Amino acid sequence: MVEYRINTKLFREISNPLILKYSHNNLINILKKLKKTEKEGKLLTLYEKYMFKEGNINYSTNLVIPYMDNFSNKEKKVLRELVIINNPQDAERLANSNIKKVGNLKPFVFNSIISTTNNENWKDQRRDYQEAFSVKNVLEDLISISNSRAIECVNTLWDLSFEGRKEVNINEFFLNETHAQLQLAMFGFSKDFESSNNKKIREMFYNTDLKEGKTIVKKLVCEIDKSKGPISQVINERKQNNSGKNNSCKNRSDKKRSEEVGNALIFSYAGHDTTGNTLTWLIYELSKNKEYQSILQEEVDNFWKYQCGRDIKYKDFKRLPFMTRCIMETLRLWPALANGTFRELDKDEYIIGNNSDNKVKLPKGTYIQIPNWFRHRNPELWGQDVNIFNPLREFLDEELWDNTIINTYNPSTERFSPFTYGPRDCIGKNFSQIEMRIILLHLFKNYSFELTEDQKNYSMEDIVCNKFTMGPRNIYNKDLSCNKLGMYVYIRKRYINGKSKL
């Protein structure tokens, strides 16, 4: 049963170039097309093609589309509107003042910190988990674990490339390494558990075998019980506080919609997938832009020369201004969460509509989406070279932590929000920033990267796969589906004065 709950007034007052009529059947047909495109991982490029290029509206225009809500009511589906907020002023303001999430992720990660629709529950979780991601109190002490793993991955990559003779799926490599760092450092898992279960856990997120998935989730939750990493400790503390006792992990993996399982899943997935994909896109861009790769390698060489064998500290990352620019430019062009955030308005709000002189009222309870993709690629905000990778471009001070190179607060402006906006921004952003720099320091110390000829032959539109996160399509999938990701490069050993860096 579908309940028709469309606010037709919004469809008149907000741009909707794809929709010519407001009839029920037409909206359903449009919705089917949008769902099909979303499944293919091409939804944002569809918006860009039909709305911006053919619809004759600009990147700052707010949009409205039909949306099937099939998670807030178990008894029926509700056809309603989804307002896509592209205006930069509206985007930052609405995200800052409306923290309630739409419940679209709850069927997958239950009442986790990223998916709970209860504002007070989110505040409780945020308060408890925030300490686990504190740079000063926690993450600084984990740098040595991250560094040890990064040293190992240098040889791992060389072995995967058959000593430079074979192409490497660098996306698979990065997903494996970022997940390893997450397990070893943030969860505190043993090396044996990590090596035995890294790939199994990662593949679980794409596996439709429910029985096998439950078995892996059970192993994950039980390992958390035994571990002392920052995330494991908070999960266990909240579990005990919520239940009053430590339940056996024997039955807990079947508990529906629990915070414990939800957070085990979301930290495992988002904690490696977003960072792994960002590193992949960075290698993609630097492989195409060899002059920038050379600048970064020079900075890396100077870093290690100055480091002179000392253990890496957080403050040492401040000697990597160009690496920071490369990372932030990658996050601009290839935001890991291109879809941004989905919110349900906590109160009535007003946004810019068809007529920029008039404000349109959005009633409390309206579903909105605040994507990053269009603001990050808006030529009015970034210039006509917006689609070109240029780490030397002019960033605003806040986008580079007021030129402090790296810092602990969220780097965001009206036009830039790779970790979305506070207060409900990405809690893992600081860990991600640390591990990316450590991995890149070791890889670029030893290697150069170049795309394979096959990889070069595919355009950006061909390889982008945007579902929950945005990764590269595997060019060896005949249908270029999103079922398998990949980015293929050659690894070239660096030689300084005739000697290998290895």
Burial call 438-457: b when 16+ CB within 10 Å, e when fewer: bbbbbbbbbbbbbbeeebee
* pLDDT of residue 122 exceeding 90: yes
What pLDDT was estimated at residue 344?
A: 98
User: Which alpha helices (H) appear in 308-418, and where do they start and end?
Assistant: 321-333, 373-376, 379-382
What pLDDT was estimated at residue 253?
A: 45
Calpha distance 414→60 (Å, rounded): 11
**Which residues lie below 8 Å from residue 369, measured CB to CB, with a gap of 6+?**
82, 83, 84, 85, 339, 340, 341, 342, 343
* pLDDT of residue 254 exceeding 50: no
Tokens 């945005």 belong to 470
User: Which alpha helices (H) appear in 412-468, and where do they start and end?
Assistant: 429-446, 453-456, 460-463
What pLDDT was estimated at residue 159?
A: 98
What pLDDT was estimated at residue 326?
A: 98
What pLDDT was estimated at residue 48?
A: 84
Using CA atoms in the order 106, 419, 156, 212, what is the torsion angle rounded to 10 degrees? Answer: 0
Task: Tell me the pLDDT tens digit for each residue of 198-253.
Answer: 999 999 998 778 888 999 999 999 999 999 999 999 999 998 887 755 555 655 54
Average pLDDT over residues 170-180: 98
When pLDDT is cut at 50, 70 and 90, the band that residue 440 belongs to is: very high
What pLDDT was estimated at residue 459?
A: 87
- Pairwise pLDDT comparison (381 vs 5), residue with the higher score: 381
Task: Tell me the pLDDT tens digit for each residue of 278-288.
Answer: 999 999 999 99
What pLDDT was estimated at residue 45?
A: 84
Average pLDDT over residues 318-340: 97
Q: Please name which of 137, 153, 11 lies closest in space to residue 441, comparing C-alpha atoms.
A: 153
Average pLDDT, the chain: 92
What pLDDT was estimated at residue 453?
A: 97
Calpha distance 63→70 (Å, rounded): 21
* pLDDT of residue 5 exceeding 80: yes
Task: Tell me the pLDDT tens digit for each residue of 442-490.
Answer: 999 999 999 999 999 998 888 999 989 999 999 998 877 788 899 999 9
Domains of the chain: 2-117+341-371 (no CATH), 127-289+423-500 (1.10.630.10)
